[in-house]
Structures are given as structure tokens and as C-alpha cells.
């Protein structure tokens, strides 16, 4: 027993904290539950996959459980060449996607031949008190290997006091061999709860998967 006590003591600092050497793969593999582990973190809620689909709509899972929700989109591939990926919110559980928004949009790009590069604000892609769908990427190519990835975080959508802020980061392979990294942010200018979100291409159908997570 003395040897065990000394071994433990050698791995605890004077303030009572375990040293980094005390935590190894062997010491944690047997743990099945952490009774006092913090509840903060990210929780998977649902996912939807488009297969030549007009849109993907999330009409459940957005409620007061979490203060932020993250949509992660993977390999969004348009069936029409050179089109934008967009989103809009709903305050009536998906009957209408027409939330008023004010937004900003900027992007960086670099093409494969190392000739053209740029960082610029995209005034053609932002909105000012508009109910239109918001562009969250630049134009995506429809080639077999072309697609978009990224994430959109919607903050406190169930609030009935504040507007609903969102931040999006997207990365696309544009037709013509160009990488675009774009940033979109803004707010849904409503104090009603936003309880549904729809994603679609500006024109034509799409493929790809979107995952929804809750963040505490």
C-alpha cells in the first residue's frame, strides 16, 4: 500500500493537481463515465443528405436547448455549373423561409496557375434588410471533383429579445481551377424565434450532406 501511495504522491503537484505524466492511455482506457464532467461541448443533433435535391430543410432540433447551433456542410456539389450556395431562416417552422437579414461578405481566392490572387469585399453578395436567401459561398463549379465545404453558426435562435446573429466560413473549388475561401456574417433582424433553416443552390439541384450540432 505504501508503494501505491508514494506513486500517487509523485504524480501530484503541491497544489493537488495531477502532473501530465500521470495521465496516459493506460490510465484512462478503463473509464466509462465521468460523473462530474462539464456539460459544455458540441452535440450531434441530425444530418441530411441531398442527392440531386432542390434543398435541405432543418425543421426540428432548433430550440432553446442550446445557445448556438452549428451546421457543417460537406461536399456540397451543384448539378448546375457556377452557382451559389445559399440559406434562409424561418419563424414559422418552415412554412416560409423569408427572415429579414443584414449581412456582410468577403472572400479570398487563388487559382491553380498561381497568376490571380485577391482579398476583397463582395458587395454583390451581401444583403441590407432583405428577405432573400443569403449567399454563403462564391460560385461553385459542377465538375465531377468540384464542391464546397464549410460551416454556419447560428446564435441563440430561440431568443425572443435579440436579433439572431450568424457567422459562416466556406471553402469552394470554383470552375476554372480556383480556390475561394469566403466569410459571411450578419443577423436575422427578428425577435421571433428562428425555428427552421433551409439550404439550397441559387439555381438547380445539389448533392452533399449537412450536419447539425448543438453547442453549449
Residue in the block written with cell 430561440: 158
Tens digits of residue pLDDT in 48-107: 999 999 999 999 999 999 999 999 999 999 999 999 999 999 999 999 999 999 999 999
- Summarize pLDDT for 1-37 with one digit per residue, the tens: 555 555 555 666 766 666 766 666 555 555 555 555 4
The answer to whether 147 and 163 have CB atoms below 8 angstroms apart is no
Nearest-angstrom CA–CA distance, 183 and 151: 10
Q: How far apart are CA 55 and CA 202, in angstroms?
A: 10
Q: For residues 92 and 59, what is the distance between their CA atoms, to the nearest angstrom?
A: 9
Q: How far apart are CA 100 and CA 27, in angstroms?
A: 53
Classify the phi-psi angles of 211: left when phi > 0, otherwise alpha if psi is within -120 to 50, otherwise beta: beta
Task: Find cell 501511495 and name the residue.
Answer: 5
Q: Which residue has the higher pLDDT, 8 or 129?
A: 129
Residue scoring higher pLDDT (35 or 164) = 164
Which position has the grid cell 441530425?
Answer: 46
Cα–Cα distances (Å) from 180 to 25, 33, 69, 110, 170, in that order, read 40, 43, 24, 7, 8
Cα distance between the two ends of the chain: 42
Given a cut of 70, whether residue 117 has pLDDT beyond it is yes
* pLDDT at residue 36 in the model: 54
In percent, the amount of the chain with pLDDT more than 90 equals 78
Q: What is the pLDDT of residue 122?
A: 95
Q: What is the DSSP letter of 23?
A: -
Q: Which residue in this structure is represented by grid cell 426540428?
A: 60
Q: How far is residue 150's CA from residue 73's CA, in Å, rounded to a whole number?
A: 5
93: left (phi over 0), alpha (psi -120 to 50) or beta: left
CATH no. of 42-215: 2.60.120
| pLDDT at residue 38 greater than cutoff 60 | no
Q: What is the mean pLDDT of residues 104-133?
A: 95
Beta-sheet pairing, 134-135 with 148-155: unpaired
Amino acid at each position: 500500500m505504501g508503494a501505491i501511495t508514494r506513486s500517487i504522491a509523485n504524480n501530484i503537484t503541491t497544489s493537488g493537481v495531477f502532473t501530465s505524466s500521470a495521465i496516459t492511455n493506460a490510465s484512462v482506457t478503463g473509464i466509462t463515465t465521468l460523473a462530474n464532467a462539464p456539460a459544455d461541448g458540441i452535440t450531434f443533433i441530425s444530418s441530411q443528405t441531398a442527392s440531386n435535391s432542390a434543398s435541405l430543410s432543418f425543421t426540428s432540433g432548433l430550440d432553446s436547448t442550446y445557445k448556438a447551433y452549428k451546421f457543417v456542410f460537406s461536399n456540397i456539389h451543384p448539378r448546375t455549373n457556377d452557382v451559389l450556395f445559399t440559406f434562409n431562416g424561418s419563424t414559422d417552422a418552415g412554412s416560409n423561409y423569408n427572415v429579414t437579414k443584414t449581412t456582410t461578405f468577403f472572400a479570398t481566392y487563388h487559382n491553380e496557375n498561381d497568376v490571380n490572387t485577391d482579398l476583397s469585399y463582395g458587395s454583390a453578395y451581401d444583403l441590407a434588410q432583405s428577405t432573400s436567401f443569403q449567399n454563403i459561398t462564391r460560385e461553385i463549379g459542377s465538375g465531377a471533383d468540384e464542391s464546397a465545404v464549410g460551416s454556419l453558426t447560428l446564435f441563440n435562435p430561440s431568443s425572443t429579445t435579440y436579433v439572431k446573429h450568424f457567422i459562416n466560413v466556406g471553402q469552394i473549388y470554383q470552375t476554372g481551377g480556383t480556390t475561394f475561401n469566403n466569410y459571411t456574417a450578419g443577423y436575422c433582424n427578428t425577435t421571433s424565434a428562428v425555428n427552421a433553416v433551409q439550404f439550397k443552390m441559387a439555381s438547380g439541384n445539389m448533392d452533399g450532406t449537412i450536419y447539425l450540432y448543438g453547442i453549449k
